[in-house]
Structure 1
């Protein structure tokens, strides 16, 4: 009994230590996860990660290396505790370089106590003060993204539970790196889409007007050569009207490009648009949202916003209205966005066609086609005009 007590006490102590280690590991993992989840800027994310890992592991320095696009090198993406001259020499290393290359090839954590190859390769005295280096691969969904290194001033082996913790942390960091890459790609695609959209709008609103003016100039030249003053005056007036329309369209396009959609989403953007509409136009605008859960992608929201923005601009420019209404509702498997006004209506007998109005409708129709939807335009029975944008709801979202 007396001989067994110390053994039991020792077992209790070991069990207590293991429990403490598990709790510490969970705390470390929780802190790392919180850090990676709260940062979207890649440089800031890696700096915070390394600072935390150096502190938690007791390392003197650390680096993160990411695989280059050619798959042949490791690029230094972030560093903590390295002298500037070493950072410069470590900017780009071969993928098969030493322990880092071995860790990547075998997708396993490596620790070395011999840093002489690193010192010989770089010619830097920093490695003389290091007693060990840990290399942890960064892998996400079977795809190797790079490694992170921790430089220790003590010559001690990493316990198995710490190795498992490092591996778990590497998976979280790899996921954060992949998410950041996807965000950059998404931003790149968004910018390309915006530029294409701007080009389309310039083409639809200005290029067609310029083509019309070019044809009228040719007719004007022929009329002048034949001394037909009546026709010359008519063509000159047409050109003047088209020039005025082109200038107004250009100013409007510049205004739209400066005032892109609110990043908080379509509903918030429409509320902001309605809030300042009367001050800008002198027309009262009421918004009624009957959709409890509007569910559109970011690209769809942008297209819808610009269609409604153009429709409301047309009300202000052409309708002669005092009151307008903007309604959002669900109708037979479609999101329906309706703009109405109490003005003179769209189709007025004997009215002179407005080139800018015509091109504005063309732009709206093209945007609606990108959404898989369509636009309906009609006069209201009680006076004024109605424009209705119908966007199909994804089948499983139809109530």
Structure 2
């Protein structure tokens, strides 16, 4: 077994080698599918080296296994036996662990787990090239030789360069996969938040109305029964409309008249549904709020009012906004027993809602605090120095 330095590439390999390097670079620039790129490039690499077969192996997520990703020229039985091997095994292990190109004719490690007789007969020498990027090995590629002819030094140098470029391709694919997972997770969290904020208050109202409807039916109080039935029907209609909006647009729109108008409508709905006396004082919101920030603020207020409705047992509630040119402070308060984190009255859904409020405040660059209110009850306070909206944003 031997390792090779990085000698200078000569003109004799430049046409084929330069073409291979250009193809890999083009694949990286175009964001091509990694497996398709490997399949397309492995055959010319095998031909360049004068080998009979080639294979690319990628490290598993645990980092302890090498998994076959692309193959050229290996018999099917050998492919099956080589599908998954130990990362530290034999020639491949020496290349991966040592971060170096390894050329070997001692193949007893390969013979031990192969069982087909390929190593030692069909393959007499084996080359293992690590696929590296920024000091990290992400896999290896193997070239299988039927004789003892060794590639010249300038070809070995090129094969090593190809390994580094393929390592870059693997790292790009890994980063892209991680970015995709993060995006999907973020979208799921956003969807959960939108459904919770849009539906929780309405369903709570329905839950509170159903016992009243049942009592009215039992007492044959048709007047109140019809009223409660109408309330439930209206709430279900609102819930259905909200759900359709979330599914079709993935967000609740504030509307062309802005956040202040949306909050006034929210307060009006709260007053219609509750005996809790809600005071709304708006001393001015900044004119520079983006649509995204307005949406986050609206849902924070919506959830805070829903918590008052569900948990507070309050008689009075207050929504107060103090605004300036670029920032504001918003407070939602009640004089009830509250539903603070850690209280027995605070159920799992409320914990979830408070967490979502905090995430919304963080996304908009604000600070959220859930505190005891002086004189009893709970205060939800949102402070924000809001960024300016996008230049193309218009209000009708």
Asked if TM exceeds 0.5, the reply is: yes
1:387-398 equivalences in 2 (<5 Å) = 391=387
CA contact (8 A) 1:132 1:153 kept: yes
Question: Equivalent residue for 1:268?
Answer: none
Structure 2 residue 51 is matched with structure 1 residue 31: no
Question: Equivalent residue for 1:7?
Answer: none
Structure 2 residue 69 is matched with structure 1 residue 77: yes
Question: Equivalent residue for 1:102?
Answer: 94
CA contact (8 A) 1:73 1:94 kept: yes
Gap change, CA 1:215 and 1:182, over 3 Å in 2 = same
Q: How big is each residue's C-alpha offset from its partner over 1:184-237, in whole Å with a ceiling of 9 and x where there is no partner?
A: 111112112222222222212222211111112223334455565443333222
CA displacement at 1:30 relative to structure 2: 2.3
Which residue among 44, 47, 70 is the counterpart of 1:52? 44
CA contact (8 A) 1:66 1:77 kept: yes
Gap change, CA 1:223 and 1:28, over 3 Å in 2 = closer
Consecutive unaligned residues of structure 1, counting only runs of 5 or more, are 1-16, 258-305, 315-338, 375-389, 395-399
Question: Equivalent residue for 1:235?
Answer: 228
Question: Equivalent residue for 1:283?
Answer: none
Question: Equivalent residue for 1:253?
Answer: 246
CA contact (8 A) 2:101 2:129 kept: yes
CA displacement at 1:171 relative to structure 2: 1.1
Question: Equivalent residue for 2:176?
Answer: 183
Higher relative contact order (CA 8 A, sep 6+): 2
Gap change, CA 1:41 and 1:177, over 3 Å in 2 = same
CA contact (8 A) 2:123 2:144 kept: yes
CA contact (8 A) 1:372 1:392 kept: no
CA displacement at 1:32 relative to structure 2: 2.9
Aligned-residue CA RMSD (Å): 3.6
TM-score by length of 2: 0.61
CA contact (8 A) 2:133 2:171 kept: yes
Deviates more, 1:187-196 or 1:64-73: 64-73
Distance 2:109 2:262 in 1: 80
Question: Equivalent residue for 1:121?
Answer: 113
Which residue among 202, 215, 234 is the counterpart of 1:209? 202
TM-score by length of 1: 0.60
CA contact (8 A) 1:134 1:150 kept: yes
Structure 2 residue 159 is matched with structure 1 residue 166: yes
The alignment partner of 1:49 has SS state of: helix
Structure 2 residue 123 is matched with structure 1 residue 130: yes
Distance 1:142 1:235 in 2: 69
Distance 1:348 1:39 in 2: 49
Which residue among 67, 83, 95 is the counterpart of 1:91? 83
Distance 1:18 1:187 in 2: 41
CA displacement at 1:68 relative to structure 2: 2.3
Q: How big is each residue's C-alpha offset from its partner over 1:90-126, in whole Å with a ceiling of 9 and x where there is no partner?
A: 1111222211112222221111234455345312243
Gap change, CA 1:393 and 1:113, over 3 Å in 2 = farther
Question: Equivalent residue for 2:53?
Answer: 61
Consecutive unaligned residues of structure 2, counting only runs of 5 or more, are 1-8, 273-294, 302-356, 367-385, 391-396
The alignment partner of 1:126 has SS state of: coil
Larger helix fraction of residues: 1
Which residue among 146, 154, 165 is the counterpart of 2:139? 146
CA contact (8 A) 1:65 1:76 kept: yes
Q: How big is each residue's C-alpha offset from its partner over 1:315-373, in whole Å with a ceiling of 9 and x where there is no partner?
A: xxxxxxxxxxxxxxxxxxxxxxxx459xxx76989x97499xxx998349769745426
Question: Equivalent residue for 2:354?
Answer: none
Work out the number of aligned pairs and report it: 281
Gap change, CA 1:223 and 1:361, over 3 Å in 2 = farther
Distance 1:171 1:147 in 2: 10
Gap change, CA 1:348 and 1:370, over 3 Å in 2 = closer
Question: Equivalent residue for 1:293?
Answer: none
Structure 2 residue 93 is matched with structure 1 residue 157: no
